[in-house]
Amino acid sequence: MKYLKGMVESMKPPSGRPYRCLAWALCLVALIVHPAVGPVSAGLTEDDGEMFLSCRADNDCVLTPTPVGEEQVSDQTSANFVQTEVITFEFTMDPPQRHVALLPEILEELEIDFKHQTNAGSLFRPAMELRLILGENVNDWSFEASTLPDLASSTYKLEDEQLDLSAGRVLWNDEPVRLVFSVTLDRPGTWALNMRGASFLSFNIPWSIDAQEANMDEPSSTSQPVSTGFEEVHRGALVGEDHDCWAFEVETHEVLRLLVEWTSVPIEIEQPHPIPDLITAAGRLSPNPDVVIDDDGETLRITYRWRALPTGDYTLCMHGSPDKIQPYMWTGVFGYEGMGPTDPSGFTAASYYPQGAAHVGNADDPSALSDQGFGMLLASLAMFGLFLVVALRPTTAYSVRFGLFVPGVLMLLVGGILHPIWAIAGEVQHPEEITLDELIEMRLQQLWDISAEGVPEQTLATHTGATWGMLEGERLQLKLDIEETIPMDDGRWQLVVPELSSMRLDQIIFSQVSKGAGQQTQEGMLESQTVRFILLAGRSLLLDLLMLEAMLVVDEAPTSSVFHIDVEMVSAPASGSVAVPAWSTRPSSVDASDWVRLQVALFPERISISLCDCDLDLLDVTFQPSQGFDSRDIPPSWGVESASGLLPYGGALMMAGMAMGLSATWMEVQRQRRAEAMAESYASPQTSDWD
């Protein structure tokens, strides 16, 4: 862990006060390393992150991890409303930061205990301007002056403040860290800055590394490689534009394997991983090897395999990039064909998405869904026309017409015509909506674009961690066609997405790679962008689809197979490691605490993405789901809407209307037959007596 060291300086006050110039000009200028600080604890800390304003003596004040020194520095002021006095304190970390650290997004707490008591004995809190400088990032806060005396002394306090890290989250070696605040005094009296634990700041550094310690085995240069044995274990780090080179002898072999394991680091500073140069004694590069890449989110393992290289002396060189740092370990193996799990034979021909990993419902009792269709509507229109013809006949009895026909026709109109028309209209894809296939295509294109060389690392991390590729402020409008649902133990229903049952992750990822094939400059080799994209896409797409599966839950049993999602995305704490962020945005309709609980419960036990650049490019996804995920972790309704009709029981209303109409029709037909029979009986000719 690293410790923050700084200094406090009171700048010269307005002219005319020479005593203050002598007393406080550069009052706290020397930074002395605290005795508790060891050689591996230089810079920002990963521990509790508390830094205290301390002053052991005049001109010997520090910002220490523990409160030490004097309890207070104070002085008199003769300031007034006409001629104010500004006192500036500055805390600077010195010696400079020796570690590379990832800055937090939140300043947990900052408290400055500064008091100003007037000559009359009243306590006033003067105005303060505060600035925190972290590398190239500058954060400013302001505190207004109190207009009335304080009954009790109050401090200047900030809690859970969002830090502006627009210039980058990485704090590099020798970059400045300063805390500066200025107090404006407008009343005569006595001011005091209280220390010994009363004034401090607190933030937790999520990650840091001692670059010098990590780079323990660094070879000098390409011209002076370090002699070693190929099968020994080597540890080091690529720091910036390092060229780490080793010289060794290649013995007789059938297969030569180079195993490189990269330690996980934040994506902002991760080194690219091009194929190392394996150079013969004659200065020639060896042929391109087969490459197998395995990424489980914690370590990145790359295996390079050459077949039957000529024996002799070789030099291996690994090359870094500016402003990047990443530790590694490598070793070599002389082996034989078919030996070990890193061969192409260890890969399957296809890598499917593990559908159902986020299902918590009863998959053995699914309910089939279908769209509205036009059958019900056409039947209802035909019956509606028939009923109107019969009901409008002038001979129809009023009791039948108004007791059965009219109610039945109205019920049929609402339940059998208006209801399905409304449902059919709701099942149509809106112009601004996209389908799941289009969402996946957009996500892959997004990951491909940000994987290109030259893309800022902060941009890469932001887009990679965005849920479904949707950034803060963007709107997700999605249309889903669902074939069946499964009941959950809490009465809700989970939707089953049919496209996921046969989705080949390798196929769609390599399809995106083929679209960008024109950007590759060396045929047959895994370009830096291609490798980065495949690893990011395999992991990000799996997590995106896992989150979508988990959240496709509705409260009521749906009646339509078409669903719409329309939500705005907002920022959220990322899940996973700092090196591979995930789910850093959430729907605004999901409560923040519900989202965090879902993240913790849903995040897989293990995800491993393996890539083989062999005769055929192969991708393998090893996935171990979380064991503690259940229905209680899924948030309440958040925006998944079924394309329902006009009424919740439109079908029943239609059937009731048809039944009433048919009953009325049957009664009318029977009444008409009886009337015709009676008329025929009266119209029959009577037998004449003359005949």
SS (H, E, C) 224-252: CCEECCCCCCEEEEEECCCEEEEEEEECC
Q: 171: buried, middle or exposed (CB in 10 Å: 19+, 13-18, 0-12)?
A: buried
Of the pLDDT bands very low, low, confident and very high (cuts 50, 70, 90), residue 122 is confident
pLDDT at 15: 38
Calpha distance 418→99 (Å, rounded) = 69
Highest mean pLDDT among 329-333, 338-342, 403-407, 522-526: 329-333
Of the pLDDT bands very low, low, confident and very high (cuts 50, 70, 90), residue 290 is confident
Nearest Cα residue to 241 out of 266, 271, 278? 271
Calpha distance 162→280 (Å, rounded) = 53
Judged against a pLDDT cut of 90, whether residue 18 lies above it is answered with no
For domain 212-346, is the CATH number 1.20.1250.20?
no
Give this prediction's pTM: 0.63
pLDDT at 215: 76
pLDDT in tens, 518-573: 555 444 445 667 878 888 888 899 999 999 999 999 988 887 888 999 999 999 98
User: Per residue in 548-573, is it b (16+ CB within 10 Å) or e — as a string?
Assistant: bbbbbbbeeebbbbbbbbbbbbbbbe
Looking at every residue in the chain, the average pLDDT score rounds to 78
pLDDT at 14: 37
Are 18-209 and 212-346 the same fold in CATH? Answer: yes
Instruction: Name the token pair of 490.
Output: 């809490």
CATH fold for the domain made of 18-209: Jelly Rolls (2.60.120)
pLDDT in tens, 482-513: 989 999 999 999 999 999 988 999 889 988 88
Judged against a pLDDT cut of 80, whether residue 670 lies above it is answered with no
Please report, for the chain, the start and end positions of each structural domain, with discontinuous segments joined by +.
18-209, 212-346, 370-427+647-683, 436-642
pLDDT at 610: 80
Instruction: Name the token pair of 38.
Output: 């060891």
Contacts of 631 (CB under 8 A, 6+ apart): 360, 361, 488, 489, 490, 492
pLDDT at 40: 35
Calpha distance 603→629 (Å, rounded) = 9
- In sequence order, the β-bridge partners of residue 568 are 475
Report the SS3 class of residue 460: helix
pLDDT in tens, 156-194: 999 999 999 888 888 888 888 888 889 999 889 999 989
C-alpha distance from residue 306 to each of 146, 309, 532, 619, 642 (Å): 74, 7, 22, 20, 56
Helix-helix angle 419-427:375-391, to 10 degrees: 160
Judged against a pLDDT cut of 80, whether residue 310 lies above it is answered with yes
Calpha distance 170→323 (Å, rounded) = 10
pLDDT at 4: 33
C-alpha distance from residue 338 to each of 254, 257, 305, 383 (Å): 10, 12, 12, 73
Contacts of 551 (CB under 8 A, 6+ apart): 598, 634, 635, 638, 640
Judged against a pLDDT cut of 90, whether residue 474 lies above it is answered with yes
Q: 34: buried, middle or exposed (CB in 10 Å: 19+, 13-18, 0-12)?
A: middle
Judged against a pLDDT cut of 60, whether residue 78 lies above it is answered with yes
Q: Quick one: average pLDDT of 7-11?
A: 35
pLDDT at 35: 31
Highest mean pLDDT among 174-183, 426-435, 475-484, 682-691: 475-484
DSSP code of residue 333: E
In this structure, are residues 288 and 196 in contact, taking their beta carbons and an 8 Å threshold? no
User: Per residue in 320-330, is it b (16+ CB within 10 Å) or e — as a string?
Assistant: bbeebbbbbbb
Of the pLDDT bands very low, low, confident and very high (cuts 50, 70, 90), residue 373 is low
Judged against a pLDDT cut of 60, whether residue 338 lies above it is answered with no
Calpha distance 424→377 (Å, rounded) = 10
Calpha distance 541→509 (Å, rounded) = 9
Highest mean pLDDT among 55-59, 206-210, 457-461: 206-210
Residue carrying structure tokens 């339940």:
415
Helix-helix angle 650-683:419-427, to 10 degrees: 150
- In sequence order, the β-bridge partners of residue 313 are 249
pLDDT at 393: 59
Contacts of 39 (CB under 8 A, 6+ apart): none
SS (H, E, C) 371-416: CCCCHHHHHHHHHHHHHHHHHCCCCCCHHHHHHHHHHHHHHHHHHH
pLDDT at 94: 64
Calpha distance 246→425 (Å, rounded) = 69
pLDDT at 36: 31
214 vs 519 pLDDT, higher one? 214
Instruction: Name the token pair of 226.
Output: 């370090």
Judged against a pLDDT cut of 60, whether residue 440 lies above it is answered with yes
Calpha distance 614→600 (Å, rounded) = 37
600 vs 614 pLDDT, higher one? 600
User: Diameter of the chain by CA atoms?
Assistant: 155
In this structure, are residues 97 and 177 in contact, taking their beta carbons and an 8 Å threshold? yes
Judged against a pLDDT cut of 60, whether residue 287 lies above it is answered with yes
Backbone angles phi, psi at 450, to 5 degrees: -80, -10
Share of the chain above pLDDT 90, in %: 24
Q: Quick one: average pLDDT of 574-583?
A: 79
Q: Quick one: average pLDDT of 106-119?
A: 90
HSE-up (13 A, CA, CB side) for residue 681: 6
Q: Quick one: average pLDDT of 97-121?
A: 88
